[in-house]
Amino acid sequence: MFLGTIRRPDKAAAHRQLRFRVSIMVFAVVAVNRVTPPVLYHRTDEKLHTLRRLHAFAETLCSLLERCSSMRELKRLHARVVTGGLVGDAFLVGKIIAFCAVSAAGDIGYAQAVFDRAPNRNRFMWNSLIRGFTISRYPRKALSLHRQMLGSGLLPNEFSLPFVLKCCASELAFEEMLLIHALVFKLGYAAQVFVQNSLLNSFMACGSTGLAQRLFNEMPQKSVVSWNSMIDGYCQSGNMDAAFCLFRDMMHSGLEPDKFTLVSLLSICSQTRYLKLGRLMHHRIQVSGVDSDVILGNALLDMYAKCGDLSSAHICFNHMPERDVITWTTMVSALANNRQVELSRSWFDQMPERNVVSWNAMISCYVQCGQCHEALDVYRQMQSFNVEPDEATLTSVLSACSQLGDLITGKKIHEYVCLRSPTPSITLCNSLVDMYAKCGLVDMALDFFNTMPRKDVVSWNVIIGALAIHGRAMEAINIFREMIAEGIHPDGFTFVGLLSACSHGGFLEVGQNLFKAMSDVYRVPLEIEHYACMVDLLGRGGQLLAAVELINSMPVRPDIVIWGALLGGCRIHGNLKIIKQVLKQVLESASDSGGLYVLLSNAYGEACKREDMQKVRKLMEQRGITKDWATSSLEINGQLYEFMVDNKITGDIYFFLDCLTDHMKSNSFLAKKSFSGYHQLPDFHADWCCWNLGELNLVLCRGYQSDLRELFECSLIIEAYLEYIHALGVKLDQGELKSLLIEALDSPTLHVDAVRIKGRDKVWSHAVLMLLQPGMVDKLQGGPLLILPTPYWPPSPVFSSSHASTPSKKSGKGRPNNLD
């Protein structure tokens, strides 16, 4: 007979059933938590009390987890969960994983560890961890988790799929996106609007505008988010017409645009510089009454700034009831992009709050305007405020170091980059290669380039250009061959570097073949820069008529760079006929380039046509054209000195220059053709001043190399060098020293870090560096650049070895000498 057939009082049956259920629940809790029960319960009230206590404890922990604000607090609560025997509580463990994965104060690694140890994983745990990796630096891990979730037999829901689709968009995983698209239809989530919006965003991010448009057209219901996704996607892809058409269709459908729609449309106006449409959008914003929104205000500021209407941007800024750091940064960037450096700095100083983007805007402003000293000053100020630089900061600072030749700061940035990340980005690596090359360390730049794990076309362009500048044409061509072998397609900048290398190396035939292969083989369009390089190559090679024919066949009008390249060849080969033709073209074009007029004047001077030279100079005066004088800078023990024409920094340098000039006149150096035109001007060249103060790594314009060569022919200077070198214990005769000095002038790069000079053209090493043997560098660094015996040696401590690192700081007109 079954026990169920025995009739008992209802009260007794209910009591027995309650005891049975409580026993099952208690032992279930014990079994799940793998805890041996310390006491075998015999009384129902004790079991109920224990169960209630566990339930209350779990509720308390859940409440505390919701208030948790740091990983330290969470780890304490997690410890109580473990010691309290609640590690099997899926709800509590899910809360812990969600905080670690999604919260700003969380730790995705800790979330992964808790997830791996969870005995029973539910869909909420999977979703939380997938979402956490989606918004982290490792979005590809989210895709891996999604595949593991499917492999475990647990299907995603409508909350899982948007996160996975977002990850596909960030990783451009198009094939996996198509699989998820099929899964959406299979699971029946195709009618969910937010899932469809996620699909739209993902297709647009991967550039599949056709699939996105098809999906959008098939949507039965379209929300404002759907329209915004399509409009913003077309904006990002550059299809402005399609974006405007969608906006018009949106208005016809009866949906009112929200602020995100208007922000996307203002972004279109910014990119296309469509000021008229931007004003219409501004009017609509005012009519709709959302002009007080700070996001819209920032978009309006950016639109007016990009369109060059700074007055409207200023008015918009003043009418904004609320401003954030983005508002101020937008104004600073707007002024910087319009070359209003001082006003931009004034706004920057007034900012109530600055972030790293604000500092980057100011640093980039100075770098773009050529004020690299000020850019480094702002960077140092940024460090004093304990603002951590990002990649954009370091790239701008490295660009400033490249322009200044500031190797010390550049190396500090390199050390910081290595400490910050063992694998820096390609952009930073390219900037480092460029910095080392422009500071004269082309071998170090080449070594660093070879150690780069990944290289893009910019990387190859930088190293090719560096080798070209330093006269290592054959190495540049070999690097290009390696680039092609690696499967990297060259662009226009690649061929600018290659043609420049051929021009400096005299590889006329190779350059002509490369110029022809640009369009025939590599399908790279010919720009005016390529024509300029080719004209320079033909001019240096003596094929001036071919250069003229190339200019006449150009599809665009020649600019001053083209005429300057042609004039350079005419100067070398003394072709006055073409010089006159160039002068005629310059006069017809009404060019205001002072450098081109000076080049014409010098060409006439070298051809001993003094009257024509004076006519060009007089024409410059009549038209009010002036030349932008180049500068040379010298760094001694971390202190930077800059030299310009007629910048009287210290009289000692000019006294020494007078001694050199008198000596050169006495040896008939100034009667040479290379000096026939230049010394009609009263000003000293900036590089001459810099040469007489510095010790190592002289940077000279091309026109003075031959003069220095002749200067080293002077027996007095050779004897002075011999006396100094013999004092160091190096035994050489006059013939050996003379050949080494001449070889030093021909050497493109010999670098010592102690003192550097940065200037306009190429780096010429200190002649004594050619004498170096292992261990002699430190001894020779303290020596003077040029020792002249009495009466040529000036009685000044500037050039003595004991005072070489502390030059005189007498200031004259022009820029101060202390630029640190």
Across all residues in the chain, what is the average pLDDT?
Answer: 71
Alpha-carbon distance values, 8 to 13, 402, 699 (Å): 7, 97, 111
DSSP 446: H
Q: What one-character-per-residue DSSP string does 319-341 give? A: H-S---HHHHHHHHHHHHHTT-H
Task: Give the mean model confidence (pLDDT) for residues 626-636.
Answer: 62
Task: Give the mean model confidence (pLDDT) for residues 582-603.
Answer: 65
The percent of residues above 70 in pLDDT, for the chain, comes to: 63
Can you tell me the distance from the alpha carbon of 520 to that of 405, in angstroms, rounded to the nearest whole number?
Answer: 38
421/532: higher pLDDT: 532
Can you tell me the distance from the alpha carbon of 127 to that of 116, in angstroms, rounded to the nearest whole number?
Answer: 14
345 contact partners, CB below 8 Å, separation of at least 6: 362, 365
Task: Give the mean model confidence (pLDDT) for residues 77-98.
Answer: 76
DSSP 803: G
Kindly state the tokens that stand for 494: 């690649």
Single-letter amino acid code for the residue at 810: K
The answer, yes or no, to whether residue 776 has pLDDT greater than 60, is no
Task: Give the mean model confidence (pLDDT) for residues 767-792.
Answer: 33
> What is the Cα gyration radius of the chain?
37
Q: Rounded to 5 degrees, what are φ and ψ at 632?
A: -125, 145
Task: Give the mean model confidence (pLDDT) for residues 277-302.
Answer: 81
Sign of CA dihedral 463, 465, 466, 471: positive
pLDDT at 450: 92
pLDDT at 790: 29
The answer, yes or no, to whether residue 642 has pLDDT greater than 90, is no
How many CA atoms, within 13 angstroms, populate the side-chain half-sphere of residue 495?
28
463/89: higher pLDDT: 463
709/93: higher pLDDT: 93
The region of weakest confidence among 208-217, 534-543, 675-684 is: 675-684
Can you tell me the distance from the alpha carbon of 713 to that of 579, in angstroms, rounded to the nearest whole number?
Answer: 33
pLDDT band of 596, cuts 50, 70, 90: low
The answer, yes or no, to whether residue 246 has pLDDT greater than 90, is no
Task: Give the mean model confidence (pLDDT) for residues 706-710.
Answer: 47
The answer, yes or no, to whether residue 747 has pLDDT greater than 60, is no
pLDDT at 115: 85
Task: Give the mean model confidence (pLDDT) for residues 530-546.
Answer: 88
The answer, yes or no, to whether residue 709 has pLDDT greater than 60, is no
Report whether 307 contacts 275 (CB < 8 A). Answer: yes
pLDDT band of 757, cuts 50, 70, 90: very low
pLDDT band of 761, cuts 50, 70, 90: very low
The region of weakest confidence among 86-90, 141-145, 431-435, 771-775 is: 771-775
Tens of pLDDT, residues 131-174: 888 877 777 788 888 888 888 887 877 777 788 888 777 777 77
pLDDT at 214: 85
The answer, yes or no, to whether residue 14 has pLDDT greater than 60, is no
3-class SS string, 19-85:
HHHHHHHHHHHHHHCCCCCCCCCCCHHHHHHHHHHHHHHHHHHHHHHHHCCCHHHHHHHHHHHHHCC
798/289: higher pLDDT: 289
The answer, yes or no, to whether residue 560 has pLDDT greater than 80, is no
Residue 104: count of CB within 10 angstroms of its CB: 6
277/21: higher pLDDT: 277
pLDDT band of 631, cuts 50, 70, 90: low
Kindly state the tokens that stand for 304: 């007016």
pLDDT at 54: 56
pLDDT at 748: 40
The answer, yes or no, to whether residue 228 has pLDDT greater than 70, is yes
The answer, yes or no, to whether residue 763 has pLDDT greater than 90, is no
The answer, yes or no, to whether residue 494 has pLDDT greater than 90, is yes
The answer, yes or no, to whether residue 31 has pLDDT greater than 60, is no
491/119: higher pLDDT: 491
Classify the phi-psi angles of 155: left when phi > 0, otherwise alpha if psi is within -120 to 50, otherwise beta. beta
pLDDT at 238: 76
Tens of pLDDT, residues 290-346: 667 788 888 888 888 888 888 888 888 888 888 888 888 888 888 888 788 888 888
The region of weakest confidence among 57-61, 254-258, 455-459, 678-682 is: 678-682
